[in-house]
Amino acid sequence: MPILPILKYPHPILKKLCHRVEKIDQSIHGLIQDLMDTMHDGPGSVGVAAPQIGVTLRVCVVDVSKNRHGKENNHGLLRMINPEITSRSGSATMREGCMSVPDYTGDVDRATNITVRFTTPDEAEHAIDASGFEAVAIQHEMDHLDGVLFLDRVTSIKTGLFRRKNY
């Protein structure tokens, strides 16, 4: 499948609430493959959500296993359809970046422990407990499904937003 261009802020699709996937068919399998290919091509990317490639469906992929922050604590490649966070606890501020906002990073408060329920591409219901960097990455990608960017959650526009030096 092709590596697709990432929509950049302020593209209006990035602010849309995404629709639930009602039927998992070949188009959804193709979308997931496109998301994985696009994620693996992105510099340092650990996740991509469907709206970032112009599709307003509740689908995202996350894989922190190759990142130094997630190497020791991860569930590998997560292909999530209609994900929902069912519990969250803890709080930490971490620096986040996004392929849709390539020129900036920002400090964002996130839960440090979450339980997320989702459907897998083989139509199985699945739930995982995620913590640390993986929990942050999942929350970041799920925000995209609700039309929320990390810019909307930056702790302080004056002191918590930073111009990226290189990408």
CATH code that applies to domain 12-163? 3.90.45.10
- Got the DSSP string for 10-31? T-GGGGSPPBPP----HHHHHH
> What pairs with residue 59 in β-bridges?
81
CA 64, CA 58: separation in Å to the nearest integer?
20
Structure tokens at 123: 């139509």
Q: What is the pLDDT of residue 74?
A: 98
pLDDT tens column, 78-134:
999 999 999 999 999 999 999 999 999 999 999 999 999 999 999 999 999 999 999
Q: What is the pLDDT of residue 60?
A: 99
- Catalytic position from the list 22, 72, 123, 141: 141
pLDDT tens column, 12-70:
999 999 999 999 999 999 999 999 999 999 989 999 999 999 999 999 999 999 999 99
pLDDT band at 165 (very low <50, low <70, confident <90, very high): confident
Asked about 72 being catalytic, the answer comes back as no
Reply yes or no on whether the pLDDT at 1 is more than 70: no
Domain ranges of the chain: 12-163
